[in-house]
Amino acid sequence: MIVIFLFWALSPQAFAAPSSAQQTLLKQQRIWFHQAHRALNKHDMKTFHRLQAKLADYPLTPYLKIWQARKALKQGNDRIAADTLVRFADIPESRNLRRAWFKSLAKRGRWAHMDNMMSYYPKLASRYPDTAMLTNWHVGKKQLAINQFSERWQKGKKFPVAYGLLQKAWTTQGHPTASERWNLISRLARQGKWKQARKLARPLPKKQRHWLTYWRNVQKSPEKALQHWPASIPPVQAAMIISDGIKRLSRSDAGKAWALLKQLEALDGQHINGDYLAKLERFTALRAARQHKPEAAQWLASLDKSVQNEDTRGWRNRMCILQHDWQATLEAIAAMPEQEQQQSRWIYWSARAADAIGEPEAARFLFAKLAGERGYYSFLSAERLGQPFQFNASGITASDAMIASIEQQAGVQRAYEWLKLGKRSKAAREWHHALAGANPERWQAAAILASRWQWYDQVIRAAFKANKLDAMQDRFPIAFEKSVMKAAKETGLKPASIWSIIRQESAFNQHAVSYVGAKGLMQLMPKTARKVARKLGMGKGRPRLFSPSVNIRLGATYLATQKSRFGNLALASAAYNAGPHRVSRWLKRMPFDDPEAWVEAIPFNETRRYVQQVMAFVSVYEWRQKKPSTSLIARLHEQIQQVSMNDDALKKPALVRGGNP
Q: Which residues form the catalytic set? A: 505
Compute the distance between CA of residue 290 and CA of residue 416 in angstroms, rounded to an integer. 46
Compute the distance between CA of residue 405 and CA of residue 375 in angstroms, rounded to an integer. 35
Cis peptide before 526 (omega within 30 of 0): no
Contact indicator for 272, 231 with CB cutoff of 8 Å? no
Contact indicator for 292, 586 with CB cutoff of 8 Å? yes
Closest CA to 180 of 205, 141, 147: 147
User: 10 to each of 5, 349, 408, 543, how far by Cα in Å?
Assistant: 9, 56, 9, 41
Sign, CA torsion 350/352/353/359: positive
Start-to-end CA span in the chain (Å): 63
- What is the SS3 assignment for 231-294? CCCCHHHHHHHHHHHHHHHHHHCHHHHHHHHHHHHCCCCCCCCHHHHHHHHHHHHHHHHHCCCC
Closest CA to 207 of 228, 180, 237: 237
Residue type, 591: P
Q: Which residues pair with 351 in a beta bridge?
A: none
DSSP H or E segment with residue 150? helix 142-154
Compute the distance between CA of residue 608 and CA of residue 616 in angstroms, rounded to an integer. 12
User: 36 to each of 43, 84, 425, 470, 605, how far by Cα in Å?
Assistant: 10, 18, 21, 45, 48
How many other C-beta atoms are found inside a 10 Å radius of the C-beta of residue 570? 26
Q: Report the SS3 class of residue 319.
A: helix
Compute the distance between CA of residue 402 and CA of residue 648 in angstroms, rounded to an integer. 56
Cβ-Cβ contacts under 8 Å for 250 (sequence gap 6 or more): 257, 258, 283, 284, 287, 288
DSSP H or E segment with residue 452? helix 440-452
161 DSSP assignment: G
Residue type, 650: L
Compute the distance between CA of residue 70 and CA of residue 53 in angstroms, rounded to an integer. 19
- C-alpha triplet 215, 217, 220: angle, nearest 5°: 115
Contact indicator for 423, 474 with CB cutoff of 8 Å? no
Residue type, 187: R
- C-alpha triplet 208, 209, 210: angle, nearest 5°: 85
